[in-house]
Structure formats: C-alpha cells, structure tokens
C-alpha cells in the first residue's frame, strides 16, 4: 500500500515538472534588447515548406542576443525563417512578403542584421547585410 502511494507521488511530481518545464521555456521577450516584432509573414501552406519572414526592432546592436532571438523564432523542417533586425526609433518596414525582396529597398540602409534558418536547420547570421 505504501509503495503504491510512493509511486503515485513520483508520477505526479514528474508530471508537475514536465508541465513547469513546458511553460517556462525562454522567449524573445526574455532577452535584453527590448525586441519588438513590427511585421511578420507566414504562408498559408501547411503541407509543404512553411515560409516565415519577420521584421524586428531592437534597442541596441546586441549581436549575440539577435542570434539567440532568431534561434527562438518558430521554424519548420524544410521551411525557412528569416528575421530582419532594425534599430528602434529608425524607419522599419510595417509589412514583409515572401520572395527575393522581403520589404521595400528603402529600408535596406537601416537593417542591422539578417538571421536566416533554412532547410534542415542551416543557420546564417549577417551583420549589416546591405552595406
């Protein structure tokens, strides 16, 4: 009888730990730099490659944190996720679209970095991609 309660307690503790660990995962808001998503695009295709494009503003050029933010963004195997970083207070695109050119070229000079996670999780991070 005592073993039964001990096993039940262990199972409940393990379930509690699983729930806590699932709900306490880090997000981009946990990073320093005041990251704010200003534009996003996700294609409607749920059966093939999923394309995500995001424009994010950041308070400072924290390269390591930008890379971490990119790593924390949603990604789908065989899809692509592209994140463009802009400094807060400077012009940034309000809309993004898929393709070769993801936003109006007038914002290229304000882009601090480009993070891209491609097919099979290949990651690239470029500082000042249009300079």
DSSP at 13: H
pLDDT at position 107, please? 93
Residue 95 dihedral angles phi and psi, to the nearest 5° = -135, 145
pLDDT at position 28, please? 66
> How large a percentage of the chain has pLDDT more than 90?
47
Q: Specify the pTM.
A: 0.81
pLDDT at position 27, please? 65
d(CA 38, CA 56): 6
Region 83-102 average pLDDT: 92
CA-to-CA separations, 30 to 34, 45, 51, in angstroms, rounded: 9, 30, 25
């Amino acid at each position: 009888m005592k073993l039964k309660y001990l096993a039940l307690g262990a199972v409940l503790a393990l379930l509690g730990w699983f729930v806590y660990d699932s709900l306490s995962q880090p997000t981009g808001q946990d990073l320093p730099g005041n990251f704010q998503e200003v534009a996003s695009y996700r294609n409607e295709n749920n059966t093939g490659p999923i394309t995500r494009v995001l424009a994010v503003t950041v308070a400072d050029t924290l390269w390591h944190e930008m890379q971490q933010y990119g790593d924390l963004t949603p990604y789908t195997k065989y899809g692509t996720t592209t994140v463009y970083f802009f400094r807060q207070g400077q012009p940034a695109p309000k809309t993004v679209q898929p393709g070769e050119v993801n936003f109006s070229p007038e914002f290229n000079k304000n882009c601090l970095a480009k993070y891209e996670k491609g097919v099979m999780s290949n990651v690239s991070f470029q500082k000042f991609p249009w300079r």
